[in-house]
Amino acid sequence: MLSEKVLSREQIDEAIERLAARLNAELAGREAVFVCVLKGAVYFFTELTSRLTTSVVIDFIQVSSYGATTESSGTVTLVKDLTVDISGKDVYVVEDIVDTGLTLADVIALLGARHPRSVQVVTLLSKPSRRRKEVPLDHVGIEIPDRFVVGFGLDFAEHFRNLPEIWEYVPQEEA
Ligand code: 5GP
């Protein structure tokens, strides 16, 4: 069940505004490809990229995630690949949340093998206390404590992605 609102829409918008301003300052002259990690990052991705003032290429990748639990399995499989060639390009991987870091580490390795010029990570949320694999986070929106959150793209068993704010979700048996 939803237990408590963790981030309001205003707080989310402020974080995205801040990230976009920083990215706009460094994107000039770059051949950037923004990669949305489906499905969780999709709301963040469209809000972020629509605030960029230079033209960037966008693409989508999907890897397997939690399924219907709140714990990462630590092994990801590629569900949907990119359609553009990223060799020689500055790639920005756009994530909803970095928790253990295991998913992102695999995504970075996968994309890095395709010889991009650089790979950077943009994440809306980060739970640093849960990290099991150190991954370079170049652009972090908001750090949150160790709580399982839903809304603004984030799901529990595919539900709640469409909520405009971010809420803590507590599985029924723990509530
Ligand atoms: P990691 O591999 O870093 O543990 O987990 C990354 C993925 O797990 C995220 O992209 C997201 O899909 C999912 N995830 C991690 N923490 C949360 C959370 O608090 N809420 C939801 N809904 N998904 C999460």
Does the pLDDT value for residue 68 go beyond 50? no
All structural domains of the chain, each given as residue ranges with its CATH number in brackets, are 9-147 (3.40.50.2020)
Q: Is the dihedral of CA 161, 167, 170, 172 positive or negative?
A: negative
The pLDDT assigned to 71 comes to: 57
What percent of the chain clears pLDDT 90, i.e. is strictly above it? 85
Q: What is the pLDDT of residue 174?
A: 65
* 99 is a catalytic site residue: yes
Look over the chain and give the mean of its residue pLDDT values, rounded to a whole number. Answer: 93
Give the contacts of 19 (CB within 8 A, at least 6 positions apart).
48, 122, 139, 141
pLDDT band at 76 (very low <50, low <70, confident <90, very high): confident
Catalytically annotated residue among 90, 96, 99, 155: 99
> In the structure, what pLDDT confidence band is assigned to residue 171 with cuts at 50, 70 and 90?
confident
Q: Whose CA is nearest to atom 23 of ligand 1?
A: 154
**Do residues 40 and 161 touch, judged by C-beta distance below 8 A?**
yes
pLDDT tens digits for range 105-124: 999 999 999 999 999 999 99
In this prediction, residue 173 carries a pLDDT of 73
Mean local confidence (pLDDT), 58-71: 74
Mutate to test the pocket of ligand 1, among 103, 121, 124 (most ligand atoms within 8 A of CB): 103
Cβ distance 3 to 113 under 8 Å?
Answer: no
What pLDDT, on the 0 to 100 scale, is given for residue 75?
A: 65
